[in-house]
Amino acid sequence: MANVTVIGAQWGDEGKGKIVDWLASRADAVVRFQGGHNAGHTLVVGDKVYKLSLLPSGIVTGTLSIIGNGVVLDPWALKAEIEKLEGQGVTITPENFAIADNCPLILPLHRDLDGLRETAAGAGKIGTTGRGIGPAYEDKVGRRAIRVCDLAHLDHLEPQLDRLCAHHDALRAGFDQPPVDREELLADLREIAPFVLQFAQPVWKRLKKVRKAGAKILFEGAQGVLLDVDHGTYPFVTSSNTVSGTAAAGSGLGPGSTGFVLGIVKAYTTRVGSGPFPTELSDDVGQRLGERGHEFGTVTGRQRRCGWFDAVLVRQSCAISGVTGIALTKLDVLDGFDTVRICTGYRLHGKILDYFPSHAADQAAVEPIYEEMEGWRETTAGARSWADLPAQAIKYIQRVQELIETPVALVSTSPEREDTILVRDPFVDRG
C-alpha cells in the first residue's frame, strides 16, 4: 500500500480539509509537515462542522495525528484548538496525537513583530495572517528559536533568551516598542509547558515504527504550492516550503516515504490577501463564484478573490511538486454558467508564455489567454459517479487534466465526505 502526500496546487483554500478527512478515514497516521495555525481546514462530518488550523485532520476520526518538525507551533493556539474540539466530543490523548520535540515555537513576540511589520508596510503589505508564522521561521533559520524540547529545560533557557531578545529588542526599538519582557515570557512558557510536553516525543521514531508495520501514512500539507517561499508568487508567499518534497524533511521520514502525491485543485481559482492573480474577476462573475463557493478564509474570515481556472499555474505546480494525480474540488460552483473559461497561456509584452514568470513585475503584467467552453445547467452537487455528472461537466474535467498534464484522481462535488468520485485510489495506485 502506498503512502499519500496531499498538497494544495493553487494559492491554498482548495478544499484540502474535506479530501484529507476522506483519506484520513482510510489512513493509519496523518502528519502535518509545514506551516502553522495560519492554515485553516473546515471538515464536515455528518451534522458536525470542525474548523482546524493546526491539528492534523485525522484527529477528528481518531487516527494517529502528528505535528512534524517542519511546523511552527503556537502552544497557546494548540491548547485552545484542542479544548474546542474536545468540547465537540473529539478525544485527544498522547495515544492518538504527538508533537515533534524539535518543533519550533511561535511566541507572543513573533505575533507582535508580524503585526508591527504589516502595519508599517503600507502599500507593501504581503497580507499575512498576523499570527507570527514568518518571524518564527526566521528565528528557526537564524538559530535562535525556542523549541518544544526546551519547555522541559526552562531553567537553562537564559543563553537562548539572550540570543532571541538581542535580535527582537533591536527590531522592537525600531518600531518604538519596549524590549521583550523576559520574565513574562518565561512565566507564560512555564504555564503552558506541561500541556505541550505530554504530547512531545521524537516523532521520527514513532513514524519509523508505524511505517515498518506497513501502516498507511497520510502527509498533510498546508496552504498551496503558489505560496511556496521558493516557487510561489514571491514575496506574496508563506514562509515555508509547501511543495511535496517538504513532507520528508518536515516529518523525519526519507523522501521514499511520501508515496502518491495528490494535488488539490479547485475547479476555479481563488486567492486571499495581496499578490498577482492573472485570472481574477472583479465583475459579477467573480462575485457569483465567491457567493456560490462561500469564499471566506477559515482562519481570517477575509473574502477570497475569485477567477477562472488557470491551467498554466496548476500545470506548473504539478510539475514542481511531482503530482501523481489531482483532486478536483468545488465543481458544483460552476453549475449554471452558460460558458466557462480556462486560462491556457499568458501574453507578456507581446510574447506568449506557457509558464508563470518569477519576477513580481512580470507576474503583475501578464494577461491571460482564455479558452471558452460550453457550461452546464444540470447540477453536479452530490454526484458520486461519472454517470451522475452532466456531459459538459465531464468534458470540462477532461480538458482540465489535458491542459495541466496530470490525471484526475478524485472529484469532490460537495463539502460532504461521501460526495466524492474516486477515479484512482491514492493509497493503492503508485502512479
Q: Let me know: does 147 contact 105? Beta carbons within 8 Å.
A: yes
Cβ-proximal residues to 42 (8 Å cutoff; 6+ apart), any chain = 17, 18, 49, 50, 51, 52, 298, 415
- Contact predicate 105/75, CB 8 Å: yes
Grid coordinates given for 220? 498533510
Nearest CA to 342 out of 402, 262, 302 is that of 402
How far, in Å, CA of 206 to CA of 67, rounded?
12
| Residue 41 annotated to the active site | yes
Let me know: does 200 contact 151? Beta carbons within 8 Å. Answer: yes
Beta bridge partners of 271: 305
Query: Exposed, middle or buried: residue 14 (CB in 10 Å: 0-12, 13-18, 19+)?
Result: buried
Q: Which position among 13, 112, 139, 310 bears the catalytic label? A: 13
Residues 355, 320: Cα–Cα separation, whole Å: 12
For 320, 342, 358, the CA distances from 243, given in Å and listed in that order, are 7, 24, 16
| Phi and psi torsions of 336, nearest 5° | 95, -5
Catalytic position from the list 21, 28, 41, 74: 41
- Between β-strands 217-220 and 4-8, what pairing exists: parallel, antiparallel or unpaired? parallel
Q: Active-site residue numbers? A: 13, 41
